[in-house]
């Protein structure tokens, strides 16, 4: 069966059939998925459970793997937090389970990270090496809750008036890895802070297909060239505009689902769930220059 894309919303997010993710994908299938990402920005593959090695192999078909915040986590003095229970450093453990397989306590750093994931963000926007796709695979899902929402930053840009577009065009924002954590009252150690210096990105991205997209989110902490308070109000106003319901797709997870999204053209956030129930997902992220 040939690969096929079924749009979920007009021009944003699509379900994909006709491809087995655990198999060795040929160049034509990889190219088709890349084309689908350019068009829809979020692709949903239902009922395709992957072993850890299979998820790594699939991700590597699209480029080099990125460690993201783990580059800072490995500098943590909390060795339990710095360790991983997974077989690969490049697999991000998006779960409420500690390294011994037990549920994490509500005050643990893992659960704080889960809370920060509930802020609208773009993965790894805080680093100099820009990333492209993230791929999240569901292993265990709670009975309810724990959905993930995705917002289309291309549609959000298109909906701005011309004066706002002109004002934003030259502006740049500084993104910092721990800004979202600091918003929640958790502050990094000096070693963690120094491990990932801030990155600066244009607020308006120019895409290879000619479209433009907003590039904002919870890691953006200030706008260069204007007072901090004014810049943060601008970022909050843009975030409110960009995440209105008409721009958002909400994915309700089932075990075996895999969702790919483009961090250059979307924001995403997790939704609350009963943390007394296990929720285990694994994420891989790809560097831009190889995607």
**Which CATH number does the domain housing residue 258 bear?**
3.60.130.10
Q: How many structural domains is the chain composed of?
A: 1
User: How far apart are alpha carbons 145 and 278 in whole angstroms?
Assistant: 12
Burial class for 136, CB neighbours closer than 10 Å (0-12, 13-18, 19+): buried
Domain around 263: 4-290
pLDDT at residue 74 in the model: 59
> Which residue positions in the chain have pLDDT lower than 70?
1, 70-83, 290-291
Which alpha helices (H) appear in the chain, and where do they start and end? 27-40, 52-60, 70-73, 79-82, 109-116, 153-158, 162-168, 179-183, 190-195, 228-242
pLDDT at residue 72 in the model: 62
pLDDT at residue 132 in the model: 97
């Amino acid at each position: 069966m040939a690969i096929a894309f079924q749009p979920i919303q007009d021009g944003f997010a699509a379900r994909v059939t006709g491809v087995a993710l655990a198999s060795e994908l040929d160049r034509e299938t990889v190219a088709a998925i890349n084309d689908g990402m350019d068009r829809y920005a979020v692709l949903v593959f239902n009922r395709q459970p992957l072993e850890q090695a299979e998820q790594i192999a699939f991700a590597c078909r699209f480029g080099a793997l990125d460690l993201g915040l783990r580059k800072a986590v490995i500098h943590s003095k909390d060795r339990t937090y710095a360790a991983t229970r997974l077989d690969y450093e490049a697999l991000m453990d998006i779960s409420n389970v500690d390294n011994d397989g037990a549920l994490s306590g509500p005050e643990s750093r893992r659960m704080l990270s889960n809370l920060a994931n509930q802020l609208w963000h773009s993965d790894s926007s805080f680093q100099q090496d820009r990333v492209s796709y993230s791929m999240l695979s569901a292993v265990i899902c709670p009975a309810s809750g724990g959905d993930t929402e995705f917002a289309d930053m291309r549609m959000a840009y298109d909906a701005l008036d011309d004066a706002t577009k002109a004002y934003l065009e030259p502006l740049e924002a500084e993104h910092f890895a721990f800004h979202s954590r600091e918003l929640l009252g958790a502050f990094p150690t000096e070693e963690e802070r120094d491990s990932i210096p801030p990155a600066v990105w244009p607020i308006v991205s120019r895409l290879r297909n000619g479209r433009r997209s907003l590039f904002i989110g919870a890691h953006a902490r200030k706008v260069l060239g204007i007072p901090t308070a004014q810049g943060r109000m601008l970022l909050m106003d843009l975030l409110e505009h960009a995440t209105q319901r008409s721009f958002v797709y909400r994915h309700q997870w089932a075990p075996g689902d895999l969702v790919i999204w483009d961090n250059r053209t979307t924001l995403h956030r997790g939704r609350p769930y009963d943390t007394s129930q296990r929720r285990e997902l694994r994420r891989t992220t790809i560097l831009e220059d190889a995607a």
